[in-house]
Amino acid sequence: MEGSEQNPTSFFDESGVEKEIIKVGDGVPFGLMRVSNSDVGIGGAYGTWGESYDNQAIPGFLEQRLGQPLPEGEKLNLSELGFRSRHHVSLLSKEQNLEVEVEVGSRLLQEAAQACGWKPPEVEAVLIGMSAPISEDYMDRITDAAGIPTDALKVVVHKACDGSVSSLHLALNPELPENKGLSRNIAEFLRGKKVLVGGIEGLSRFMNKTRDTNALQLFGNAAGIIGVIPGLTMKFLAGKSREAYDDEGVLQVQMNYPHSVLKAEEGTNVEVTQMNGNHIRIAGLMPSPEDGSSIVMAGPMGMVKLFVRTGVQVVREAYRAYQEKLVQLGETGKTLAVAVVHHANYKINKLKEKHLQNEGIVLPMPWLVSEFGNVSAASNMIAFLRQLPSLKPGDHILIDGFGAGTYYDVLAVELGR
């Protein structure tokens, strides 16, 4: 398994990672990697910030955060769950965290544009998934700092771990309900334009407000952003989205973003707000902790029960829609090159893979994000970028996102100029 202890190297020590110290507080380590594939015309960048804690160091980190040792019975087998390290910042003020995360976000936008051969002023839209934004104007701050035009379309998506895949789906599929409800269909508007899509997750800062030992062991900081030209370098083939509200509150997440907090008995729990002509917020309702903490989650088996059953159903529906699309295209012999799946934990992905195989759906689902922990909306983009160098024009790939709430987005796309 790629997520085992076979290679305990920190991300910061991997070949090709550009490292620096962000001069805030005592200094915050920051590393990033640029990835390009000129054959398919797609590039991007991913990275992380904060100190790197491997599985052996995590109990000490928790003791520091909680002020007491981690009980033996609460220690997770993190290697078995596919993770060998994750990144956390020291306790900083809100102003310091904002400075760090603006620096990280703006740099990743600039680097992703550069990986595509674009200059920031050429970028025409930015769509970012964020589980826990540090400020309501975070998107404006990072795009301004990156040199992206003020009139570029800016979309923030708050659907937990599904945020980046939901953003990509929104950019490519004009039939999505969110697109249908807008005065300007985003997917139709973005066709042929230079677009940055990704996930930026300062989860270490968010975890400061929880004592949930499962969350503190699993989650960490990371970001991943890709550059695509919808309809040209990435073409939508088929996709499905689904909401299945977590009535039992198996995974409770504080919504530090605007939402009416009214659960819809019928229809959607996703609120779409057009804040001005070029800035849109898409916010999903979450079961929230009653004690005001940032996150309360069941153990790993609880997460399996929450995500696997519905997750398999949505992948099955998207796969069937993809097969129907192949018939329309006259390409019935075509197969998916790879499936890029959210890395919640290794057991969830392996169980989904097993259930799909039992139904005759065989998808290569490599585990690729072991050095970061669960990094929510950033994980799909990092996993995609790690596959990108081996992909070819005309390849079809499946992208599977799912997150708290619960929200699911699965889409099949074709790559190439």
DSSP string, 26-64: T-EEEEEEEEEETTTTEEEEEEEESEEEETTTHHHHHHH
User: Which CATH number describes the domain made up of 11-415?
Assistant: 3.40.47.10
Q: Torsion angle, CA of 170/260/255/179, rounded to 10 degrees?
A: 0
Low-confidence spans in the chain with pLDDT less than 50: 2-5, 8
Model pLDDT, residue 4: 42
- Pairing of the two strands 407-415 and 234-243: antiparallel
Please check whether residue 126 is in contact with residue 87, taking contact to mean a CB–CB distance below 8 angstroms: no
Q: Rounded to 5 degrees, what are φ and ψ at 32?
A: -145, 160
What pTM, to 2 d.p., does this model score? Answer: 0.96
Please name the residues in contact with 354: beta carbons below 8 A apart, sequence gap of 6 or more. Answer: none
Q: Is residue 326 within 8 Å of 332, Cβ to Cβ?
A: yes
Domain extents in the chain = 11-415
Distance of CA 125 to the CA centre of its chain: 18
8 A C-beta contact, residue 47 and residue 36? no
Supply the pLDDT for residue 52.
Answer: 96
| Angle (CA) 300 305 306, round 5° | 95
**Residue 177, token pair as written in the block:** 């309900």
pLDDT at 415: 98
Going 215 to 219 to 153 to 383, the CA torsion angle's sign is: negative
Q: How many CA atoms lie within 13 A of 358 on its CB side?
A: 8
- Residues 21-49: pLDDT tens digits? 999 999 999 999 999 999 999 999 999 99
Q: Which residues contact 311 (CB under 8 A, 6 or more apart)?
A: 348, 352, 400, 402, 408
